[in-house]
Structure 1
Amino acid sequence: MTDHKTGTREEWLAARLELLKEEKALTRRSDELARRRQELPWVRIDKEYRFATDEGTASLTDLFAGRSQLLVHHFMFGPAYTAGCPSCSAMADGFNGSVVHLANHDVTLCAVSQAPLPKLQAFKRRMGWGFPWASSFGGDFAYDFQTSHTEEQWESGAVEYNFRAADFRPPEGEENPVLDEIASSVGTDWATYRREGPGVSAFALQDGVVYHTYSAYERGVDDLWGMYQWLDRAPLGRNESGFWWRRHDEYDSRSEPAPPSCCG
């Protein structure tokens, strides 16, 4: 017997209609925030960034691939990583289905990471992804957009991330199994892992000039996790306890749906 509150269909409907009012208000608020994002002033980018891509060396303008808008997913895959961040990987699983629709709406979606291109290509093959993925290895792009941080910045305890100074170092002498598990999943320690950070940045290209229009970090990229939008509507919600998600090829087969029985 469930310990969750139960009720009649009529009680459920009355509660659902009350919740619907709040959902509609949230939708309208979300629409307003989207409009305000688009009203942010554009900042001209004059710096010459270079990337390694499947097609060769590319500029930031090249990443637009002939379109006027560019969305960059700052994918956590540092030079010392042995695999992509599991959180970014879970997020990126939803990109393949979106990239073709965005491309046909004048928007290029591209992941950018610090790891050398061969590492990205190998992991991309492993995951079965087809979206564009560029390496910014050896350049300033990730540092300028505050998704990569130097060892000196880390040690200072004042990493610039999400528009503020933050200290990501765990308390000295304190063990944190969850942090250790996350770091070990990419073959590093926590300090090396967390010198990278997730984020999304948007750019516009007009008359040959690139403009930075928007960036978001931390919970600001939550909506890009397709699985969380589903979980928020599931009976138990996110129902999280620690680091539960994995790269899609690392789950125990018992978590996969059973095939339909031919015997009914």
Structure 2
Amino acid sequence: MTTSLSSSSSKADQPDVAPPVVDRAAFEAALAEQVAREKEVTRLNDRVSAARRRLPMVEVEDYAFDGPDGPVRLTELFDGHYLLLVQNVMFGPDWEEGCPSCTWAVDTLPARMERLEEEGIAFAMISQAPVEKLERWRTRRGWSHTWVSSGGTTYHHDWGWNREDEDGQPYQLPGYSYYLLRDGVPYLTYATTARGTEATLPVAHIMDRTAYGRQQDWEDSPQGWPQYPTYG
């Protein structure tokens, strides 16, 4: 059984529990077993990535989004590149702040985003909220990324970023869309949501490899390990 902690607790506070202490030989034997399991995951991931590179693509409307300086076409988000990564940030039209988990994801993007540009990849964010709200949140967070509003388009509904639950209540999904620009036409080549977004979250992977993992309430951790509400 793990230990659920209140929001008043902090991950910055060292837990009372810790892994068992063993000698060097025992540690290296246990680590070797773990590395062998992780190599299996790496090989599987290579096969999954190979299949991803063989996906077809679908043409996408050249939507006219709202930017801080006026309309911005989807094709303009490529900014001279042929590949585009879009982060679909949850920010409803009537919200005053961006989604906490999406905000965390943006905060943990690479410090030098020009590394993406060197690989021919542009980056932009799309949300439904009016661009004025996006600009206020961007300023508050200190972001410099391209961020446009889809509020005047059907983009979020067309591509499933807005959905309804079993009771007909609307909700949004976070995620990433990957596009290819070919002969001036934008194509969607891949998209992922839910935990599929973790591939672009380096901080999450760093936490996974610490002694306590992410310390989130869904994790399978040893008895007494600290756990906090995932979206607390």
Q: TM-score range by the shorter chain?
A: 0.7 to 0.9
Q: CA deviation at 1:229?
A: 0.9
- Match in the other structure for 2:4: none
The structural deviation recorded for 1:17 is 1.0
| Cross-structure match for 1:248 | none
1:252 maps to what in 2? none
Question: Where does 1:3-152 land on structure 2 (aligned, <5 Å)?
Answer: 4-45=19-60, 47-95=61-109, 97-149=111-163
Alpha-carbon contact 2:19-2:211 (below 8 Å) kept: no
Q: Deviations over 1:161-183 (max 9, x none)?
A: xxxxxxxxxxxxxxxxxxxxxxx
1:8-36: CA deviation from partner (whole Å, max 9, x where unpaired)? 11100011111111112211221221221
- Cα 1:54–1:104 change in 2 (3 A) is farther
Amino acid paired to 1:24: K
Distance in structure 1 (CA, Å) of the matches to 2:150 and 2:22: 55
CA distance in 1, matches of 2:117, 2:17: 47
Instruction: Specify the alignment match of 2:177 in structure 1.
Output: 201
- Structure 1 runs, 4 residues or longer, greater than 4 Å off: none
Q: 1:209 and 1:54 mapped to 2: Cα distance?
A: 24
**Residue pair 2:109, 2:201 contacting (<8 A) in 1 also:** no
Which structure has more strand as a fraction of its residues? 2
RMSD: 1.9
Q: Which residue in 1 is equivalent to 2:205?
A: 229
Which letter does structure 2 place at the counterpart of 1:219?
Answer: R
Distance 2:76 2:87 in 1: 16
User: In proportion to residue count, which structure has more helix?
Assistant: 1
SS in 2 for 1:195: strand
- Number of corresponding residues: 206
Tell whether the 8 Å contact from 2:175 to 2:194 is kept in structure 1 after alignment: yes
TM-score (norm 2): 0.82
User: Using the alignment, how far apart are the partners of 1:70 and 1:210 within structure 2?
Assistant: 9
Looking at structure 2, the residues matched to 213 and 55 of structure 1 have their Cα atoms a distance apart, in angstroms, of: 28
In the aligned structure 2, how far is the partner of 1:203 from the partner of 1:225?
A: 19
Distance 1:35 1:229 in 2: 22
Segments of structure 1 that go 5 or more residues without pairing to the other structure are: 159-190, 246-264
List gaps (5 residues or longer) in structure 2.
1-15, 217-227
Cα contact 2:92–2:127 (8 A) shared by 1: yes
Separation in 1 of the partners of 2:72 and 2:127?
Answer: 14
Q: Is the 8 A contact 1:91 1:226 kept in 2?
A: no
Partner Cα distance (2:17, 2:23) in 1: 15
